[in-house]
Amino acid sequence: MNFFERVQNFLLYALQDFMIENFIWKDLDKYYSEVKGAPITACKVMSNTDIWLMRTYWDFDFPRPFVPNFKYVGGIHCRPAKPLPKDIEEFVQSSGDAGIVVFTLGSMVKNMTKEKGHIIASALAQIPQKVLWRFSGQKPENLGSNTRIYDWSL
């Protein structure tokens, strides 16, 4: 940023604090006092909250620490999930207490070299969980018995 942009950023930040303090928080304090029937501030109400339900996914958010009483409930606004296909359902249910791992390199990786496929397959074969691997390349020969390859392209 140049000097003018830095000054502008500082002024806008200070103005933002002033606006929030003098307009938004005062209205919230008035609202919470009316609801409670006694004078109270919004900050006091929020500090006494036992649990915060965050309607977002933690993996879509920026990395940051959060306190234990923050619970992510993303997905409550989505349509109901479809049942898994029978072969995937049987494979997942056979995992027992170890659980499953869904492994994908994203939608941008369509295929990879045979050597890299072998490296990943040997690494996945060493973990105790069952693995559903999204892979559209040639099936590696060293694929573990705990790994199934699926190509669930959209």
When mean pLDDT is compared across 55-64, 98-107, 132-141, the lowest value belongs to 55-64
pLDDT in tens, 71-90: 887 766 677 778 888 988 99
Give the closest residue to 148 by CA, choosing from 107, 102, 86, 81.
102
Q: What pLDDT, on the 0 to 100 scale, is given for residue 112? A: 79
* Contact call for residues 21 and 38 (beta carbons, < 8 A): no
Q: What pLDDT, on the 0 to 100 scale, is given for residue 70? A: 83
> In the chain, what are the domains?
3-72 (no CATH), 86-150 (3.40.50.2000)
Average pLDDT of the residues in 106-126: 84
The band of 100, judged by pLDDT with boundaries at 50, 70 and 90, is: very high
Q: What is the DSSP string of 97-149?
A: GG-EEEE---SS-----HHHHHHHHHHHTTSSSEEEEE--SPPPTT--TTEEE
| Tokens 């060293």 belong to residue | 142
Q: Residue 123: is its pLDDT beyond 90?
A: yes
The pTM for the full model equals 0.50
